[in-house]
Amino acid sequence: MRHHVGAVAVKNKHILSTGYNGAAAGVKDCLELGCLRDELKIPSGTRHEICRGIHAEQNAIIQASLHGVSIEGATLYCTHSPCILCAKMLANARIKRFVTSGKYADDAFLDLFKEAGIEFELKTKPSLSIVPLD
């Protein structure tokens, strides 16, 4: 029913914060309530305010804030490219670099990242199979 998205903010080889997508702490999610976006046939990448979910990038920023950790100048590794709302938050958090191997339905973040000086890297998706070493 939902994307499985994770994010990790890293600086100087240290993990600063992590986040994953899901409903706010202590409230029901779409798996329990049903998905309003699906019911209203809202396409992916639009009308973000309709969703109860908090994006992985947003949760990484929130977790850093809750624990008093600055992510300024950090690299954010994420399973998907950001929506425009997350891109604005990442620009204000002063993220330096964003690395992903997955594409989100919206590319509006690219112009904002360029203007904000955030490096964007789209990597080849790694293999998910485990191969034993001989």
Whether 57 is catalytic is: yes
93 φ/ψ angles, rounded to the nearest 5 degrees: -80, -5
Q: Which of 57, 115, 119, 121 is catalytic?
A: 57
Contacts of 38 (CB under 8 A, 6+ apart): 1
- 38 by Cβ neighbours in 10 Å (0-12 / 13-18 / 19+) ranks as exposed
CA angle 100, 47, 72 (to 5 degrees): 40
21, 2 contact by CB (below 8 A): yes
Q: Record the tokens describing residue 126, joined without a space.
A: 């790694």
CB 34 within 8 A of CB 82: no
The residues annotated as belonging to the active site are: 57
